[in-house]
Chains A and B, each alone.
Chain A
Amino acid sequence: MRLASSLNPAAAQHGFLSPTGVEIAFLLVGLVTFGAALVTVTTRQLVHAALWLVVALGGLAVEYLLLTAEFIAWVQVLIYVGSVVVLLLFGLMLTKAPIGRSPDADSGNRWAALTVAVAAAVALVWVVVDAFRATWIDLDGPPAGTTRVTGESLFRHWVLPFEALSVLLLAALVGAIVLSRKATADADASGPTAGPTAGAAAGPGATSGPKATADTPVARPGEKEGAR
């Protein structure tokens, strides 16, 4: 993606990394995204972390837009901001979402996590640069990144990986259902309090406690993710 931007006509006229408006905007949005991502992992307030994640993911969508990948940008908003973060917030509210700082929201593994993150980032950048170094972008056809071009490349050239991925997601879906069913069966066997988390979140709203557990909200997110 980054290479695609440096190869687009505006950049070709001005040379590599010359400050055109789009590139400046790209850099600024990138900085905001990076900052939001940093706050996401460093803040001690759990729900704030999820909300900063919205900013980071939305910033990524704007970056896609600036790279003319319109379809990917909207799918990013639809899946990540609209569903994954909602799922995260749902999970947080269902368990424990205190207002203010959580002193225990910290990890002793931070250095290990940082090492893994940096290694993953280096590997990704290296692989992408290496893979697309010799790629030529056809500037005469419809602009790359439109829905038509994305769809054609996805379902003409990459249809096998695409189908393999959908099988993987189906496996994850089945796995999620099996795991949640098993947990419910175990809990039923051990006692009538099937959903301690849902009951705790509901608190005094006792009427909705049994409903929420009978509803198995645990299984739903898995189904949703898999179906996508």
Chain B
Amino acid sequence: MNDALDVALRLLVVFVVFLTFPLIVGQTEHKVMAHMQGRLGPMYAGGFHGWAQLIADGVKFAQKEDVVPAGADRRVFQLAPAVALLPYLLVLLAIPIGPSEGAVGQVLDAGVFFVLAVMGVGVLGSLMAGWASANKFSLLGGLRTAAQLLAYELPMLLAAASVAMAAGTVSLPGILHAFHWWWVPWQIVGAVVFFVAGLAELQRPPFDMPVADSEIIFGAYTEYTGLRFALFLLSEYAGIVVLCGLTTVLFLGGWHGPWGADGLGWVWTLLKAAILAFVVIWLRVTYPRLREDQLQKLSWTLLVPLSLAQIALTGIVKVVIS
């Protein structure tokens, strides 16, 4: 009974995090973007600086009619948002935010593989949406999504493999237990590659070619309305939370900080992830969109060689110090 309660409590906490953190990132994005562009952003909903804007948006989405195009493949079309969203919920289960046993949803032996594998599944949702919409712009968006995933999953995996080599384990808490501060400069190239490739996998600007609204309307999500569209948006923000959490855990030392290691480790994790989320928003405001061929070129000619060099460096240092 106690075990069941424990599992239920963990699932509940992860679910609440899954529901709230993406909204916090979304609201931060509204505000940060507005201030970077010299305007105010949402100010009215909820009274204080428009804090309830996203709730209002959610209510609006829920009230809209759920339209399925006549020529669409109904079942695949309706299933796609769930396939896009659920993987991020599963990934959140495996991300540790503190050193204790209670600060992670579930300790997984092959945690790095689990998170990368399940994150890759989420892209299937965009592909399904792109195909099932019976719309040429959606199909183009789906194609671009697939090409982007294939290009950027490899450097992401290689960068994560470098950290796993350094730590001698593929368990996420295990990597953090093996962490020392000098890993940050040692793995910095891998960190940048991982973060950039992750941004591309989430299709965030400057890698938002699959949803480029000035060219293909909204890519794979063009035909979606109402709640299903909101679910796709939510999956993007959940993806930001997951990516920032993972980068923190793998490359920035997670719960390790200059002080307050006992009991306050989770503050460090959240702080680092929040700074990374700010960087994600910052990049959106400041960088223009990459063209499709530039996207591919960046991955195959820059990120893959860099991540391979990082793995070589990791191997050399590892052999020298052991």
Q: CB within 8 Å of B: which residues of A? A: 47-48, 51, 54, 70-71, 74-75, 77-78, 81-83, 85-87, 89-90, 92-94, 97, 99-100, 146-147, 201-205, 207-208, 211-212, 214-215, 217, 220-221, 223-224, 227
Q: Are A82 and B117 in contact (CB under 8 A)?
A: yes
Given A85-B124, A93-B131, A220 and B296 touching (CB < 8 A)?
yes
- Proximity string of chain B (102-140) to chain A, C-beta cutoff 8 Å, 1 when within and 0 when not: 000000111001101110110110011011101011011
Distance in Å from the Cβ of A226 to the closest Cβ of chain B? 11
Q: Are B131 and A47 in contact (CB under 8 A)?
A: yes
Determine the chain A residues whose CB is within 8 A of the CB of B11 once the complex forms.
Answer: none
Determine the chain B residues whose CB is within 8 A of the CB of A221 once the complex forms.
Answer: 150
Distance in Å from the Cβ of B291 to the closest Cβ of chain A? 8
Distance in Å from the Cβ of A111 to the closest Cβ of chain B? 30
Most buried by B among A48, A51, A100: A51
Q: Are A74 and B293 in contact (CB under 8 A)?
A: no
Q: How far is the CA of A205 from the CA of B215 in the complex (A)?
A: 9
Q: Are A89 and B131 in contact (CB under 8 A)?
A: yes
Q: How far is the CA of A89 from the CA of B132 in the complex (A)?
A: 12
Q: Are B146 and A81 in contact (CB under 8 A)?
A: no
Q: Are A211 and B292 in contact (CB under 8 A)?
A: yes
Question: Which candidate, B68-76, B179-187, B237-245, B250-258, is the interface stretch facing chain A?
Answer: B68-76
Chain B contact residues, majority secondary structure: helix
- Proximity string of chain B (145-187) to chain A, C-beta cutoff 8 Å, 1 when within and 0 when not: 0110111011001000000000001110000000000000000
Q: Are B131 and A224 in contact (CB under 8 A)?
A: no
In the complex, whether B33 has a CB less than 8 A from a CB of chain A is no
Q: Are B150 and A83 in contact (CB under 8 A)?
A: yes
Q: Are B146 and A147 in contact (CB under 8 A)?
A: no
Q: How far is the CA of A9 from the CA of B39 in the complex (A)?
A: 66
In the complex, whether B143 has a CB less than 8 A from a CB of chain A is yes
Distance in Å from the Cβ of A76 to the closest Cβ of chain B? 8
Determine the chain B residues whose CB is within 8 A of the CB of A77 once the complex forms.
Answer: 117-118, 120-121
Distance in Å from the Cβ of B54 to the closest Cβ of chain A? 30
State which of B72, B109, B149 has its C-beta within 8 Å of the C-beta of A86. Answer: B149
Distance in Å from the Cβ of A147 to the closest Cβ of chain B? 5
In this complex, the interface size class of chain B, counting residues with CB under 8 Å from chain A, is: 35 or more
State which of A82, A147, A224 has its C-beta within 8 Å of the C-beta of B109. Answer: A147
Determine the chain A residues whose CB is within 8 A of the CB of B136 once the complex forms.
Answer: 203-205
State which of A47, A202, A212 has its C-beta within 8 Å of the C-beta of B76. Answer: A47
15 A-B contacts (beta carbon < 8 Å)? A51-B128, A71-B110, A71-B113, A71-B170, A82-B117, A82-B153, A86-B123, A86-B124, A146-B110, A147-B113, A201-B143, A215-B147, A215-B293, A224-B150, A227-B154
Extra contacts besides A77-B118, A93-B130, A220-B150 (12): CB < 8 Å: A47-B73, A74-B114, A81-B121, A86-B120, A86-B146, A87-B146, A97-B131, A99-B73, A147-B171, A201-B139, A205-B137, A220-B296
Q: How far is the CA of A93 from the CA of B146 in the complex (A)?
A: 10
Q: How far is the CA of A205 from the CA of B292 in the complex (A)?
A: 14
Q: How far is the CA of A77 from the CA of B112 in the complex (A)?
A: 13
Name the residue on B nearest A224 (C-beta): B150
Ranked 10 nearest A-B pairs via Cβ: A82-B120, A78-B117, A90-B146, A74-B113, A77-B117, A71-B110, A74-B117, A99-B73, A74-B114, A89-B127
Name the residue on B nearest A48 (C-beta): B76
Given A81-B124, A215-B293, A224 and B154 touching (CB < 8 A)?
yes
Q: Are A94 and B143 in contact (CB under 8 A)?
A: yes
Name the residue on A nearest B71 (C-beta): A99
Given A90-B143, A211-B292, A220-B147, A54 and B120 touching (CB < 8 A)?
no
Q: How far is the CA of A207 from the CA of B214 in the complex (A)?
A: 12
Most buried by A among B109, B123, B296: B109
Most buried by B among A70, A89, A223: A89
Determine the chain A residues whose CB is within 8 A of the CB of B130 once the complex forms.
Answer: 93
Determine the chain A residues whose CB is within 8 A of the CB of B114 once the complex forms.
Answer: 74
In the complex, whether B17 has a CB less than 8 A from a CB of chain A is no
Q: How far is the CA of A99 from the CA of B109 in the complex (A)?
A: 41
In the complex, whether B216 has a CB less than 8 A from a CB of chain A is yes
Q: Are A78 and B131 in contact (CB under 8 A)?
A: no
Distance in Å from the Cβ of A49 to the closest Cβ of chain B? 12
In the complex, whether B22 has a CB less than 8 A from a CB of chain A is no
In the complex, whether B142 has a CB less than 8 A from a CB of chain A is yes
Q: How far is the CA of A90 from the CA of B151 in the complex (A)?
A: 12
Q: Are A70 and B128 in contact (CB under 8 A)?
A: no
Determine the chain A residues whose CB is within 8 A of the CB of B170 once the complex forms.
Answer: 71, 147
Q: Are B143 and A83 in contact (CB under 8 A)?
A: no
Q: Are B215 and A54 in contact (CB under 8 A)?
A: no
Restricting to B254-279, which residues have a CB under 8 Å from any CB of A?
none
Q: How far is the CA of A147 from the CA of B153 in the complex (A)?
A: 21
Q: Are A87 and B292 in contact (CB under 8 A)?
A: no
Q: Are A78 and B108 in contact (CB under 8 A)?
A: no
Given A51-B128, A205-B140, A224-B150, A78 and B109 touching (CB < 8 A)?
no
Q: How far is the CA of A217 from the CA of B149 in the complex (A)?
A: 12
Determine the chain A residues whose CB is within 8 A of the CB of B123 once the complex forms.
Answer: 82, 86
